[in-house]
Amino acid sequence: MTPDKQISKLVYMANQIGHFFASQTGDAKVDGVADHIAKFWDPRMREKIISHVRQGGEGVDALVKEAVMKLDDKTATPAI
Amino acid sequence: MALVTETDYGTPAPKSERKVALTIDGVGIEVAEGTSIMRAAMDMGTKIPKLCATDTLEPFGSCRLCLVEIQGRNGTPASCTTPVAEGMVVRTQTERLKALRKGVMELYISDHPLDCLTCAANGDCELQTEAGAVGLRDVRYGYAGSNHFDGKKDESNPYFTYDPAKCIVCNRCVRACEEVQGTFALTIDGRGFDSRVAPGQNEPFFESECVSCGACVQACPTATLSEKSLIAIGQPEHSAVTTCAYCGVGCTFKAEMRGEELVRMVPHKDGKANHGHSCVKGRFAWGYATHKDRILNPMIRAKVSDPWREVSWEEAIHHAASEFRRIQSAHGPRSIGGITSSRCTNEETYLVQKLIRGGFGNNNVDTCARVCHSPTGYGLKTAFGTSAGTQDFDSVDHSDVILVVGANPTDGHPVFGSRMKRRLREGAKLIVIDPRRIDLVRTPHVQADYHLALQPGTNVAILSAIAHVIVTEGLVNEAFVRERCDWSEFEDWAAFVAEARNSPEEVAKFSGVPADLIRSAARLYATGGDAAIYYGLGVTEHSQGSTTVLAIANLALATGNLGRPGVGVNPLRGQNNVQGACDMGSFPHEFAGYRHVSDDSARHIYESLWGVDLDNEPGLRIPNMLDAAVEGTFRGIYIQGEDILQSDPDTHHVAAGLAAMECVVVQDLFLNETANYAHVFLPGSTFLEKDGTFTNAERRIQRVRKVMSPKNGYGDWEITMLLANAMGFPMTYRHPSEIMDEIAATTPSFAGVSFAKLDEAGSVQWPCNEAAPEGTPVMHIGGFASGKGKFVVTEYIPTDERTGPRFPLLLTTGRILSHYNVGAQTRRTENVAWHPEDLLEIHPHDAELRGVKEGDWVKVLSRAGETTLRALITDRVAPGVVYTTFHHPTTQANVVTTDFSDWATNCPEFKVTAVQISPSNGPSDWQESYREQAEQSRRIISVEAAE
């Protein structure tokens, strides 16, 4: 799997998570995505998506970008 | 150890709680109203002679051996069909009764062969026993009656024989097939002396619709229907009660032994999951345990292209441990991981995750639930606060409406399927949501009220449309919702489902299900009384698997179908210990008892007990491990009892991931497909060779008992200990009970569980702790673990796996009755007689369009790959949908499945693959080359034992 393919797979997975939380009501959409990634993604996967978003985040939906930036800020410690 | 025997009370126990007092043989007794006289007598220890009666079947009253006298009543009624009455005075033994019984027995024996010494049932024959009980000394009619010696034995079934000469026409087999199994495959053909048991249309057993569950064999009081293993070996001399290692029903069996040789597996009447019933797999398909393919010596090799070299346990374990440490020292602590097995015991699974978390120093542990029920864990924990089904199996007896979604109980969970059919025959209503016309839709004396044959991938839309009807037609149980749920979350959800785009009329446009069918099904579910939902992998194995589980939970919450018998949300788990593997902390993000690894208090419990610091970051899931392997950051894996190359999607990608690793350690019974890419092979043990526990789909923890020495030398738990110790992470358990003690001491929901408790109670359902010392059959009575039930908006998002001109059909995959999972066990039994290869089910219309005829080789091509198999033309699948199973590695159905997966859990989307079908000349080039590679990979260089 090439690095491009790896990152595009992670972008796809992150956007899938984003699609779910985008449909939720209330104001927890961004936190929902960030919390889900923090809870279930291994650190190397998180680092990759964070790095990708830092570089512009091509292909990453806006909601997910916001969530990933939050993760970056929080140094990726998941909430329970 | 003695033979475990069960008391036969002659007729089933009644359900009434009202008591009736009577006198039997001068002794006063009080029994439940509706009890037969036969059962009441047995309650006080008096065995009334009987032949056609047994307590697993309704009374029949045909043998006339169980006659009794009742004061004030004429005649001698059959005690099996006569219920007790207040003040009744019964005599079970009088001169008149003795004469009558002896006369009846004379008639039976007059045409029964007297070859007792060479009969397979010798020592366990009810006819023999009852002849003794009635004092038969002579037969006035002689012994020359029509004894059917000239009748041909039917030996067509691989596992049992039918000998008409031994038949006394008691009808027990026929009734067992009807009442217990619900297949109605048997009847009595002919009259008088010509009477004989006739399967199907008087055809051989194997060719009939008989499903080989063994209920008829179990019910037979003579040697008419006998296990071939019993005929070959002889009567067992001891037995142990243990738990089946096949599906998630968790049937209890008596393993009946002669020395260390297994004579037969007999379903245990006291088993709380199966109540004495069984299926063809658990009852008969245990021959794999001694199959010649089983690997009994450890093996290693430097490269996967090398032949295997047999080595000592010490060398194999040392090699694996040093390789793992070498990889970690070069690539970091998170560069290795492992997979626990849902076929192994709770104790073994707990040890593997302990080794990975404590010994490997990371959380890279996952389990096969990743590819089956991980969305159940996520969805039910979110909705109800607990990652498990809500009911016990007995609950179905109270259901008025049964909704089956994406499950095929009569094939995948046959013993529970029979239970469900019995309830449906009693009048419960049935809704089936499945793209395929599963057997339950129409089977003898059962017909679904509504079958919603949806397009694969539209589950969420259909369930939201059902919710739309419930909300917009005022069918919500508002009292329940107000009391048990967050009202504002409900309002948000109700507003969402009430939108016009979620109406049945809109959803019908793309789901293929007519709107009126959706509306009718919704009304029935909401208003038909106690309604229960049972679901399977047709729900979870989708890109919206977790959303579908949430949508199911929403329906139960909205209608108040939770917290009492007869209702609930019930995942039907695939493998025997999927529930247990999940409970034991097999997921990379949580410890045993579903506590996240970042939960400091949970982590500190294990850190202080194990004496190591634990990682607070979630680890890699199986698909992530494979991605990381290809990328180069994950290089070693310990796989216990799991065959990811065959069971996981996108075989090419799995193979690439395994091939990229430097050390793959496989622990299994056989050189499975994954072992083609392994460097170390550690031979595993069967469920017959070790002690432990399994947890079934109803959260029932049951004992697995060792009945023979492990042929490989060690139980799997001992092998994990060897590896842990070699890696410098000491484990010193002397028995699996000590592992369970540690689980109980560290996991709140298991706090009350111990081997002693299980031996005493038979089984318990978690949570089992101070609050529920005897376990919890039905969950969420009075409240949810998380406080309030949670409604979640379930937006339908179509999968990105779409049909189009190149791939116009949708492939969905599933299981068949005779095989289990990847078939590693069942393919090594006589079960292959029923299903020697995977077949592609295709609708006649689609077949004709492509020029495909029954039995033709066809190529299945998807965006991921291609394979070939033979076609089975059937309207069981709708036009546009094709179906196959994944039991045979020569087919490798997962070559064509894609790596699309559930958004929340990465559970693969096995159920939706866009494909094209075309005629083919035979196996594909890939299949041929795979076969050659597998053969090469399985070469073994045996090493002579040292002198």
Could you report the per-residue pLDDT of A36-77, keeping only the tens digit for each? 999 999 999 999 999 999 999 999 999 999 999 998 776 544
CA dihedral over B848, B851, B855, B861, signed as positive or negative: negative
- Is the pLDDT at A80 greater than 60? The verdict is no
Q: What share of chain A is helix, strand, coil (3-state, %, to 5)?
A: 70, 0, 30
Look up residue B828 and give its amino acid: R
Kindly determine whether residue B618 and residue A16, on different chains, have CB atoms separated by under 8 Å. Answer: no
Distance CA A14, CA A17 (A): 5
Give residues 320 to 359 of B whose Cβ lies within 8 Å of A. Answer: 334
Q: Per CATH, is B378-571 categorized as 3.30.470.20?
A: no
Set of chain B residues whose Cβ sits within 8 Å of the Cβ of A41 = 618, 624
Q: Closest partner residue to A43 among B589, B617, B797, by Cβ?
A: B617
Q: Which of A40, A45, A77 is most worth mutating to test chain B (most B CB atoms within 10 A of its CB)?
A: A40
Set of chain A residues whose Cβ sits within 8 Å of the Cβ of B790 = none
Kindly determine whether residue B618 and residue A40, on different chains, have CB atoms separated by under 8 Å. Answer: yes
Could you report the per-residue pLDDT of B499-530, keeping only the tens digit for each? 999 999 999 999 999 999 999 999 999 999 99
DSSP secondary structure letters along B430-462: EEEE-SB--GGGEETTEE-SEEE-PPTT-HHHH
Q: What distance lies between CA B681 and its chain's CA centroid?
A: 28
Q: What distance lies between CA B545 and its chain's CA centroid?
A: 21
β-strand pairing of B365-367 with B336-340 = parallel
Kindly determine whether residue B797 and residue A44, on different chains, have CB atoms separated by under 8 Å. Answer: no
Chain A touched by B588 (CB under 8 Å):
yes
Distance CA A10, CA A48 (A): 8
Residues of chain B with pLDDT under 70: 943-947
Closest residue in A to B654 (Cα) is A1
Nearest CA-CA distance, residue A1 and chain B, Å:
6
Set of chain B residues whose Cβ sits within 8 Å of the Cβ of A80 = 596, 598-599
Nearest CA-CA distance, residue A45 and chain B, Å:
8
Question: What distances in angstroms separate CA B591 from CA A43, B194, B316, B610, B747, one per listed residue?
Answer: 18, 64, 29, 13, 9
Q: Closest partner residue to A25 among B492, B543, B588, by Cβ?
A: B492
Nearest CA-CA distance, residue B287 and chain A, Å:
40
- CB neighbours (10 Å) of residue B851? 9
Kindly determine whether residue B903 and residue A40, on different chains, have CB atoms separated by under 8 Å. Answer: no
> What CATH number should be reported for the domain whose range is B299-368+577-765?
3.40.50.740
Kindly determine whether residue A20 and residue B624, on different chains, have CB atoms separated by under 8 Å. Answer: no
**Hey, what's the torsion of the CAs at B38, B43, B47, B49, to 10 degrees?**
20
Distance CA B69, CA B303 (A): 80
Residue ranges covered by each domain of chain B:
138-290, 299-368+577-765, 378-571, 809-937
Q: Which residue has the tokens 């690539």?
A: B331
Nearest CA-CA distance, residue A25 and chain B, Å:
7
B533 Cβ contact partners less than 8 Å away, ≥ 6 residues apart: B403, B404, B405, B552, B555, B556, B561, B568, B569, B570
A&B contacts, CB < 8 Å: 74
Kindly determine whether residue A41 and residue B618, on different chains, have CB atoms separated by under 8 Å. Answer: yes
Tokens coding B615:
């990682």
Kindly determine whether residue A6 and residue B631, on different chains, have CB atoms separated by under 8 Å. Answer: yes
Kindly determine whether residue A39 and residue B596, on different chains, have CB atoms separated by under 8 Å. Answer: yes
Our CA angle for B817, B819, B823, nearest 5°, is 165
Kindly determine whether residue A42 and residue B598, on different chains, have CB atoms separated by under 8 Å. Answer: no
Burial of B242 (0-12, 13-18, 19+ CB in 10 A): buried
Phi, psi of A61 (to 5 degrees): -65, 155
pLDDT of residue A2: 67
Residue ranges covered by each domain of chain A:
3-75
Closest residue in B to A32 (Cα) is B904
**Protein fold of B138-290:** Alpha-Beta Plaits (3.30.70)
Set of chain B residues whose Cβ sits within 8 Å of the Cβ of A26 = 492
Chain A touched by B793 (CB under 8 Å):
yes
Distance CA B370, CA B359 (A): 23
Distance CA B285, CA B825 (A): 8
Chain A touched by B599 (CB under 8 Å):
yes
Distance CA B593, CA B504 (A): 39
> What CATH number should be reported for the domain whose range is B809-937?
2.40.40.20
Q: Closest partner residue to B589 among A19, A24, A40, by Cβ?
A: A40
Q: Which of A10, A12, A13, A20 is most worth mutating to test chain B (most B CB atoms within 10 A of its CB)?
A: A20
Set of chain B residues whose Cβ sits within 8 Å of the Cβ of A6 = 627, 630-631
Nearest CA-CA distance, residue A11 and chain B, Å:
12
Nearest CA-CA distance, residue A15 and chain B, Å:
9
Phi, psi of B45 (to 5 degrees): 95, 10
Q: Closest partner residue to A9 among B334, B627, B905, by Cβ?
A: B627
